[in-house]
Amino acid sequence: MIVVKVGGSLGIDYDAIAENVAELWQNGKKLILVHGGSAETNRIAEKLGKPPKFVTSPSGYTSRFTDKETMEIFEMVYCGKMNKGIVERLQKLNVNAVGLSGLDGRIFEGKHKDKVRSVENGKIKILRGDHTGKVEKINTHLINLLLDNGYLPVLTPPAASYKGVAINVDGDRAAAALAIALKADSLLLLSNVPGLLRTFPDESSLIKSIPAKEVESYLEFAKDRMKKKVLGAAEAVAGGVGRVIFADARSKNPLTKALAGEGTVVA
């Protein structure tokens, strides 16, 4: 089993991903796709007059402040435009894809965090009304039902809280939790960089491999959204996933290349 997470940053070639997924799937590989939609959500939110608001936690992690209206925009882009765009690409290639959010069948479940701590001008502020959380539970029943019947699941945040409320969760860490729950051999975290870079954004400084036990010590090299990928990788390998590969999704055959070890391999 391979879990493939495709980010939502600019530059990602979704046509290339769909073609490569179709090729692997039609050759009998079991796989699941998880995707993001961050850049497009920002663009649509701006156009709708509700610009995105990001908060930085005291420990340096950045996340989207997701009030109710932002959640609706988030769902429009992630579950609507991005998810159905990927499903359509796969259906055109004769892959019987089924697109679902973490709300559907409660595939992704976790606690709802209503409050978030935000560092603003050096001071810590508490913001309320947030709809975020972290995936703590994967409901594998529905996923296995689909896989066992020949459907390829295409999954996206939001997740469901234990009370059924839509919550924004980090897609990389959701994919890590999914890979653990499904005992995946490989978790591919594809984005618009070649992998973890020692000196971002110098692509020649690519770190080619990271020993599983040392992942967290590499956090210092991770900038912004890459931090959560490194955290997700640490969680995945600690949870029994064979290997995690950070790789590039800006050119042809991104999955095949990543599976061949192109990128940063955590094992």
Helix (H, G, I), strand (E, B) or coil at 53: coil
What CA–CA distance (Å, rounded) separates 119 from 121?
7
Residue position matching structure tokens 């703590």: 136
Q: Pick from 10, 124, 145, 260: which binds its own copies (CB under 8 A)?
A: 145
Q: Which of residues 115-144 bind its own copies (CB under 8 A)?
A: 141-142
Residue (72 or 214) nearer to its own copies, CB: 72
Say if strands 264-266 and 243-248 run parallel, antiparallel, or are unpaired: antiparallel
CB-based contacts of 49, cutoff 8 Å, min separation 6? none
Residue 52 interacts with its own copies (CB under 8 A): yes or no? no
Q: Write down how long the chain is.
A: 267
Residue 41 interacts with its own copies (CB under 8 A): yes or no? no
- 243: closest CA among 193, 197, 184, 190? 184
Residue 10 interacts with its own copies (CB under 8 A): yes or no? no
Residue 91 interacts with its own copies (CB under 8 A): yes or no? yes
Residue (16 or 212) nearer to its own copies, CB: 16
Torsions phi, psi for 102 (to 5 deg): -70, -15
Residue 78 interacts with its own copies (CB under 8 A): yes or no? yes
Please give the distance of CA 44 from its chain centroid, rounded to a whole number: 19
Residue (40 or 262) nearer to its own copies, CB: 40
Which range binds its own copies by CB under 8 A, 9-17, 95-103, 211-219, 238-246? Answer: 95-103
CB-based contacts of 158, cutoff 8 Å, min separation 6? 71, 74, 75, 78, 79, 101, 102, 103, 108, 131, 166, 167, 168, 169
Least separation in angstroms between CB 95 and its own copies: 9
Residue 101 interacts with its own copies (CB under 8 A): yes or no? yes
Contacts with its own copies, residue ranges (CB under 8 A): 44, 47-49, 72, 75-81, 83-85, 87-88, 90-94, 96-101, 103-106, 141-142, 145, 149, 151, 158, 160, 163-166
